[in-house]
Amino acid sequence: MSAPLINGKQVSEEIRGALRGEVELLTKQGLTPGLAVVLVGEDPASQVYVRNKEKACHDLGYYSEVHRLSASTTQEELLALVDKLNRQDNIHGILVQLPLPNHIDEKSVINAIAVEKDVDGFHPVNVGNLVIGDDSLLPCTPAGVIELIKRTGIEMAGKHAVVIGRSNIVGKPVSLLLQRENATVTMCHSRTANMKELTQQADILVVAIGRANFVDASYVKPGAVVIDVGMNRLENGKLAGDVDFESVKEVSGPITPVPGGVGPMTITMLMQNTLIAAKRLGGLA
């Protein structure tokens, strides 16, 4: 029997509906959440992501600024723009689209973003707060993963969650957020021995490795929740997850598809972070 689908598109629409309503109310009170997105260079995928963020702002009633800078922009010029945005009252969230050209040090740029406007959740202070369990702006894709698991109605506390992938932007923060939900977390990576033995014990399996269709049914415990973060472009142009959806859905519990699972949640969580940042900066939270 096929598993129930976790429809990220639908969840995303529901959250966006709530955000739209809240932004309308805030705007009436004189506070319109504002997001600045900075794009350096002409990376085609980044251009698409930035356009989608701009569109989300427009659809939800946010103020938005997109700064499209040439690939030859110097680090000093970029840092000067970040500094200006840090001090701009109508901007509550700043997102510098990654990757940056090689001549710019990404860490220096991320560190320069005001912690309270770091809506990507990548600033070391926000990362540190996440680690110690303090309030922080959460990284968007990991926050989306947790939201999707919550929407299944399946309790995370006491469950065994296995995360494959330990990147700073997905795997590590997902594992921290799962621990915050009182799951018992096992992390797997490219050097993990006997990975299948571990994943077969997972009540919740989150996969973020960047390898198309890598996880098949033999990795999955019957009935497990499976969240596929992978977004891999195949030679035929189609998008594939890290999970072999067709085989896994025959054994798993609720499962995310690709596309239409985690993907739509990332920008929605960015919009949520921007609203949170605006309320905090505006003294309303």
Q: Which positions are catalytic?
A: 53, 97, 120
Smallest separation, CB 230 to ligand NAP (Å): 4
Query: 27 near 284, Cβ under 8 Å?
Result: no
Query: 25 near 276, Cβ under 8 Å?
Result: no
Toward ligand NAP, which CB reaches closer, 260 or 282?
260
DSSP string, 124-159: HHHHHHHHHT---PPPHHHHHHHHHHHHTT---TT-
Smallest separation, CB 8 to ligand NAP (Å): 9
Query: 205 near 227, Cβ under 8 Å?
Result: yes
Smallest separation, CB 144 to ligand NAP (Å): 7
Toward ligand NAP, which CB reaches closer, 61 or 210?
210
Smallest separation, CB 80 to ligand NAP (Å): 28
Alpha-carbon dihedral sign for residues 145, 149, 151, 156: negative
Residue nearest ligand NAP, Cβ-based = 167
Residues that bind ligand NAP (CB under 6 A): 141, 164-167, 169-171, 188-192, 208-211, 229-232, 262-263, 266
Q: Does 12 show up as a binding residue in the annotation?
A: no
Q: Does 167 show up as a binding residue in the annotation?
A: yes
Query: 82 near 38, Cβ under 8 Å?
Result: yes
Q: Does 180 show up as a binding residue in the annotation?
A: no
- C-alpha torsion angle, residues 85, 86, 91, 96 (rounded to 10): 60
- Residue 99 preceded by cis peptide, ω within 30: yes
E strands, 145-249, where? 160-164, 184-188, 204-207, 225-228, 232-233, 239-240
Toward ligand NAP, which CB reaches closer, 202 or 231?
231
Toward ligand NAP, which CB reaches closer, 113 or 208?
208
Q: Pick the closest to residue 229 from 184, 164, 176 (CA basis).
A: 164
Residues annotated within a binding site: 165-167
Residues annotated within a binding site for NADP(+): 165-167
